[in-house]
Amino acid sequence: MPMPQRDTVHWYAGPTTFYRAPARKPEEVGEGQVGVLGVPLDSWTLGRNGQRYAPRAIREASLYLAGYYGLQTEPVGYVEVNTGNVSTVPDEPRLFDCGDVRLHQGDHELQTRAIADPVAAITANGGFPVVLGGDHFVPYPSILGFIEGLRRRKPDAKVGFLNLDGHFDLWDEFKDMGRYNHGTFARRISELPEVGRMVWWGLNGTHIAQPDQIELCRDKGYAAYTVRSIRERGIQETMREALEIASEGADAVYVTFDIDVTDGAFAPGTHSIVVDGLTSGEVLAALAVLPEFETVQAFDVCELIPQYDVGGGRTARYAAHAILSVIGGRVLDSEPRFSEADLGAIFR
């Protein structure tokens, strides 16, 4: 018996699903619905581990946010102060938690299938997969599943790719970690014939790119936005342009979000701390643009490491916020209620 999405249990109690969503198998998530899938994988990092604990940490953080809708005697929803619409939790849920994949540690092929198969199942029925990583190798098996799912509906489907990340992750191979890890995953994706334009947003720090990586981007027509250009040209302007480029010639765009696109001061619970990154507020403002693009049909969050997450789980809370800013419009009902004049008199 799936648990109800609206629930009166306090956020610190009760079973832990993402945003109190009922459980559902990936193959049962359909058109107009979102399936959240945990991938507790941290075998493919170049350094710090602990990303395997992130799916549960993100789910727990999401319960606090879900609590706003469930704790009142008579739930009446919340006003979106930018639009005047009122959001409520629908009686018929459109958000489902598909649990965590069962990983086959040490067997690369089985592990890839374990991640790709459920993502393909959600995508094939028209569902929107939200993948909770996991280290940042996860998007590689995840996008393989996404492509498979899309191609069951449209055999020649092409996919665009957008990476919100402090890094290119375009290295080809590492001495001690080979060709498959969280620093090479974008290179492996660039080799897939089904993938069209790749775009990076939020590159920061030092040692971002080696010459062969710039040549690859130049030759393939990829695009990238650094923190500096984002600040000069505008958060939402650059994100819209990035999504337009990723959408060119694509039936759908896969978006991956590496927590480390954010400055370490705002998101300390991660592998690669950067000190000149964007603020969490800037990144959330950028993610708010994603729902404007119908091409965006998959999203993942990677590289959260809860045991480095100081300050009451701020990075996990941030990850949960980020997901809701992308899928909130899909999984909540929204009705117009207040006029611009109503709101303008109050919110100045």
Query: From CA 324, how far away is CA 331, in angstroms rounded?
Result: 9
Residue 165 near Mn ion by CB under 5 A: yes
Instruction: Provide, rounded to whole angstroms, the least separation between the CB of residue 136 and Mn ion.
Output: 6
| Residue 289 tokens, joined | 């643009």
Nearer of residues 93 and 264 to Mn ion, judged by Cβ: 264
Nearer of residues 114 and 267 to Mn ion, judged by Cβ: 267
Query: From CA 159, how far away is CA 173, in angstroms rounded?
Result: 24
Residue 167 near Mn ion by CB under 5 A: yes
Nearer of residues 165 and 251 to Mn ion, judged by Cβ: 165
Residue length, the chain? 348
Residue 258 near Mn ion by CB under 5 A: yes
- Scanning 17-25, 159-167, 183-191, 337-345 for contacts with Mn ion by CB under 5 A, the matching segment is 159-167
Instruction: Provide, rounded to whole angstroms, the least separation between the CB of residue 236 and Mn ion.
Output: 22
CA–CA distance from 148 to each of 133, 136, 235, 249, 256 (Å)? 20, 20, 32, 18, 17
Helix axes 310-331, 280-287, angle to 10 degrees: 10
- Scanning 25-33, 45-53, 166-174, 293-301 for contacts with Mn ion by CB under 5 A, the matching segment is 166-174
Query: From CA 155, how far away is CA 44, in angstroms rounded?
Result: 31
Residue 284's nearest CA partner among 116, 164, 159 is 164
Nearer of residues 125 and 213 to Mn ion, judged by Cβ: 213
H/E element holding 227?
A: helix 227-233
Residue 166 near Mn ion by CB under 5 A: yes
Report 300-319 residues binding Mn ion (CB under 5 A): none
- Scanning 27-35, 158-166, 217-225, 307-315 for contacts with Mn ion by CB under 5 A, the matching segment is 158-166
In this structure, the number of other CB atoms found within 10 A of the CB of residue 88 comes to 15
Instruction: Provide, rounded to whole angstroms, the least separation between the CB of residue 109 and Mn ion.
Output: 26
Nearer of residues 158 and 167 to Mn ion, judged by Cβ: 167
- Scanning 59-67, 213-221, 255-263, 288-296 for contacts with Mn ion by CB under 5 A, the matching segment is 255-263
Q: Are 270 and 304 in contact (CB under 8 A)?
A: yes
Query: From CA 73, how far away is CA 94, in angstroms rounded?
Result: 23
Interface pick for Mn ion out of 148, 260, 282, 309 (rule CB under 5 A): 260
**Cis omega (within 30 of 0) for bond into 328:** no
Residues of this chain that interact with Mn ion (CB under 5 A) are 165-167, 258, 260
